[in-house]
């Protein structure tokens, strides 16, 4: 189970990714994962409210907004 600090770090990372995606007007993005060395975060903005779906392909980091 995740502890509260790790969950907070994941949420902050997701908000940063979403802000950069909106700034660059992207619907999908890929970024280096700060939680593991080999993985990448894959983010997608979905729906009319642009909710973020984010997951890492190298570790257990996942989040749906």
pLDDT in tens, 22-59: 999 999 999 999 999 899 999 999 999 999 999 999 99
pLDDT in the model for residue 9: 94
Q: How many domains does the chain have?
A: 1
Beta bridge partners of 24: none
Token pair for residue 19? 């802000």
Q: How many CB atoms lie within 10 A of CB 62?
A: 12
pLDDT in the model for residue 23: 96
Q: Per-residue pLDDT for 1 more than 70?
A: no
Mean pLDDT over 11-15 rounds to 95
Q: Per-residue pLDDT for 2 more than 80?
A: no
pLDDT in the model for residue 41: 96
Q: Provide the domain limits for residue 48.
A: 4-64
């Amino acid at each position: 189970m995740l502890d509260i600090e790790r969950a907070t770090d994941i949420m902050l990372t997701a908000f940063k990714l979403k802000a950069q995606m909106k700034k660059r007007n992207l619907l999908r993005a890929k970024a280096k994962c700060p939680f593991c060395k080999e993985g990448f975060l894959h983010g997608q903005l979905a729906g009319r409210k642009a909710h973020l779906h984010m997951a890492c392909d190298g570790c257990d980091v996942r989040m749906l907004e």
